[in-house]
Amino acid sequence: MKKILIVFLLAAAILSGCTSFLQKENSKDLLENSQPENKSEEINQEKNPFKISNETRNFLLIGVDSRGEEDSRSDAILLARYEPSGDSIKLVSLMRDSYVKIPDYTYTYSKLNHAYYIGGKELLKETIEQNFGVPIDHTAVIDFQGFIKMLDAIAPDGIEVNVTSAMIEDMGLELEPGKQKLKGSDLLSYVRFRHDGQSDFGRVDRQQEILISLKDQVMNEFSSPAGIARLPDIVSQAMKYVETDLKLDEALSIGASFLMNPVTEIETLRVPVSDSYENKTYEHAGAVLQINFEENTEALKQFLEAEKK
């Protein structure tokens, strides 16, 4: 099975993790060797897959609760910010039950994930931008089938997680509680589990946990110049698993910036932040999180714009 460069949606959009621990000296040598030596090669410079991206970008990463059905809701909603000059990626999980204002919606307000249901990724993007004041440069969407395929490709031996008795019963697993390695569809069930006291908040924690774990799983894929040379083909294959407005040359450009500026950390935030919301119920929307927008937009702004100390 072909190795995949994507770490769930995060890496699908910004090619995360796999170059996190790559030595800059090796990557510089390869990148320098990819530059044209004569004028005829210079004509094709725009096609050079190792053109470096220097732009800070915000990505909307959407996991949908679908196995191929036409209608679906966004099961996971994340914002990711990549700054080529830094050594970390900032990842924000937006709670899907957040009660937000949806543009041109009959009831004005509803759950955040309802925006995707009625208007797809474009309406969800617009809703986030208007409610939280964060401009979004690119979107990427993946469904359950794509998620399982990538998990099996990236981590064929599974990922070690802490499995509780409640999870084992809910998922129908023949395992003992404690540290266990889960694969593909079982990992999907793990990140979607919410039948305990933590509900969706625990689900968000597990989504972030798996993203960070997958980063380490693929670090060896590009730990050598030979691995870097396979970048264009692997990125092309990886992008088949997602629906994204990120073009192949843009993905390659961002990937090349990782080679020059390795990312060693994923910083995370959950919105709404602690003590900034109330549990409410509305007839048209059901149980929601009624959030303090002023507090959360400020927390989000500080998190995304703060420089690492």
Tell me the per-residue pLDDT of 153-207, one tens digit each, with 9 for 90 and over: 667 788 899 999 999 998 888 889 999 999 888 888 888 888 887 878 888 888 7
Which CATH number is 189's domain given? 3.40.630.190
Model pTM? 0.74
The answer as to whether 1 is a domain residue is: no
- Domain span at 223: 8-33+49-305
State how far the Cα of 78 lies from the Cα of 212, in Å rounded to an integer: 14
The answer as to whether 285 is a domain residue is: yes
The answer as to whether 3 is a domain residue is: no
Chain segment 32-71, per-residue pLDDT in tens: 444 444 444 343 444 444 455 567 889 998 988 765 555 6
The average pLDDT across 225-243 equals 66
The average pLDDT across 11-25 equals 34
The answer as to whether 289 is a domain residue is: yes
The answer as to whether 41 is a domain residue is: no
- Structure-block tokens of residue 195: 């039948």
The answer as to whether 98 is a domain residue is: yes
The answer as to whether 40 is a domain residue is: no
The answer as to whether 2 is a domain residue is: no
Domain tally, the chain: 1
